[in-house]
Amino acid sequence: MDRAEKSELVAALNEKLGNSGVIVVAHYAGLTVAEMTALRSQIREAGGTMQVAKNRLVKLALEGTEAQEIADLFSGPTCIMTSEDPVSAPKAAAKYAKENDKLVLLGGAMGATILDQNGIKELASLPSLDELRGKIVGLLQAPAGNVARVLNAPAGQLARVMGAKAASE
């Protein structure tokens, strides 16, 4: 890779890391190609991306972003997982790390907030944006259903009384 390609890669990484909702950094030593492919697909399905790049280039790309404090995490075989949604990448990464102990979550960043391993796991335990939207819709629909049941209850009782009266005659 020549100097121009490296500067292009650093600029692209800088833009990606600067615009991400969350960044997760992990060690992947010992993962096979098939396991890395499975991890990439899980991250992609969750709405994020995973990338492996040279640590020196990532450190250069982090300069000038809110997440520049995580540059110390980049030593050894590291991968970067990012997503716009602050929950999806950590959730997919934590799920895969539970299944495969070769993936070690190191930490990350959410905007200017620096996260350690526990912070990533806490984010992973939160419901996703789609799950929260579903809960809000359910909460908004519940009162309307309750009102309909309350209004229909007296009419149903009246109909049962009339039916009992007709059956007794």
Question: Which pLDDT value is given to residue 151?
Answer: 65
Question: Which pLDDT value is given to residue 147?
Answer: 65
* Dist. CA 46–CA 83, nearest whole Å: 9
What is the Rg, in whole angstroms, of the alpha carbon atoms belonging to the chain? 26
* Dist. CA 146–CA 71, nearest whole Å: 53
Q: Is the pTM of this model over 0.85?
A: no
Cβ contact 103:26 at 8 Å: yes
Cross-strand partners of 109: 23, 114
Question: Which pLDDT value is given to residue 124?
Answer: 85
Instruction: Say which amino acid occupies 75.
Output: S
Question: Which pLDDT value is given to residue 25?
Answer: 93
* Dist. CA 51–CA 40, nearest whole Å: 8
Per-residue pLDDT of the chain (169 residues; tens, 9 = 90+): 788 888 888 899 888 888 888 999 999 998 999 999 999 999 999 889 999 989 999 999 988 888 888 988 899 899 999 998 888 889 999 999 999 889 999 999 988 888 888 888 888 888 877 777 888 888 777 776 666 666 666 766 767 777 777 787 6
Measure Cα distances from 53 to 8, 50, 90, 132 in Å: 13, 10, 19, 34
| CATH H-level, domain 3-126: superfamily | Ribosomal protein L10, N-terminal RNA-binding domain (3.30.70.1730)
Cβ contact 85:21 at 8 Å: yes
Domain edges within the chain: 3-126, 127-169
* Dist. CA 126–CA 88, nearest whole Å: 9
Measure Cα distances from 150 to 81, 126, 142, 153 in Å: 50, 35, 12, 5
Question: Which pLDDT value is given to residue 155?
Answer: 67
Tokens standing for residue 134: 């579903």
CA proximity to 50, closest of 66, 31, 64: 31
